[in-house]
Amino acid sequence: MNRFLPLALGLTLLPGFAAAAPRVIPGFATPESVLIDGDRRYVSNIGTTLDPLAKDGDGFISSLGADGTLIDRHAFPADGTTLDAPKGMAITGGRLYVADIDRVIGFDIATGIRGFEASLPAGGPSLANDLAATGDGALLLSDTLRGAVYRLDPATRGWTLLTDAIPGANGIVYDAATRAALVAGLGADFSGGDLYTLPEGGPARRVEGGPHGILDGLARLPDGRLLVSDWIALSPPTPGRLLLLRPDGTDPTPLDLGIPILGPADFGAAADGTLWIPATLGDAVVVAPPS
């Protein structure tokens, strides 16, 4: 790693990250999200151009092994159906669910067959962005354009609006122990947002002392700390960053990933600390190993 790169990007080297050189896996089509499930990594691809609202049928989900080997570039859909601009994903009940503009699609993991679809409630344009499984079979979904978070019951296809007060709602994680979600926002006009906590039955509240930026992916590490990605700027494209947070979402500290990443979106964190980060504007996935 170029020892001057962290200084050029304004990053700080923290223990536990980027001691080894990151690996870049090319060959994707505007990758937006990485979901880790055991020894598999699933990557959602928006398509040939960065158009998160285009209903063009050119989206797909790739499957990789834990070592980064490409298993199937077009793993889903595998049944002749189409995806438009797939983004965040979650797994529950043997299905891989994905947010796709104004709907949630579910695929049987074993067969690749599409067995579920639920359109978002009416109410104007939507941008279904990220998904989180609650552990009881339900899903939480963020809608960026509506600034909303919904609860979806796949058994009934019923929606419950939990909040519409998170400008640019994006990345979401759920804590079954506290029955609360954390939601990263990128702002109503996509120029900068904040981190919010969303307790069950309560209003969304901005985390005081939390990060501010064009926030995207959000993940909780095994030690309880949080990571959130920040695009920093959309125009002109600017190398983004990942911010390490305390368990309560405060005290953001940049990580040195050892490589500039254009468009760090909805990343995945493996149990061993390895980060799988979609470089959306680079058509690649960056694998940053722990020290």
The better pLDDT of the pair 243, 4 is held by: 243
Across 92-115, average pLDDT: 96
The CATH T-level fold of domain 5-288 is Neuraminidase (2.120.10)
Q: What local confidence, expressed as pLDDT, does residue 14 receive?
A: 40
Q: Is pLDDT above 90 for 163? A: yes
**Band of residue 13 on the pLDDT scale cut at 50, 70, 90:** very low
Question: Chain-centre distance of CA 199, in angstroms?
Answer: 20
* pTM tops 0.75, yes or no: yes
Across 228-247, average pLDDT: 95
Rg (CA), the chain: 17
Q: Is pLDDT above 50 for 127? A: yes
Helix residue ranges per DSSP H, the chain: 5-9
In the block, which residue shows the tokens 């690996």?
23
User: 94: left (phi > 0), else alpha (psi -120 to 50), else beta?
Assistant: left
In the block, which residue shows the tokens 């639920």?
118
Q: What local confidence, expressed as pLDDT, does residue 237 receive?
A: 87
In the block, which residue shows the tokens 């190993």?
289
**Band of residue 20 on the pLDDT scale cut at 50, 70, 90:** confident
The better pLDDT of the pair 10, 195 is held by: 195
**Cα–Cα distance measured from residue 190 to residue 186, given in angstroms and rounded to the nearest whole number:** 5
**Cα–Cα distance measured from residue 116 to residue 63, given in angstroms and rounded to the nearest whole number:** 20
The better pLDDT of the pair 79, 152 is held by: 152
- Domain boundary assignment for the chain: 5-288
Question: Chain-centre distance of CA 139, in angstroms?
Answer: 14
Which residue(s) pair with 169 in the sheet?
185
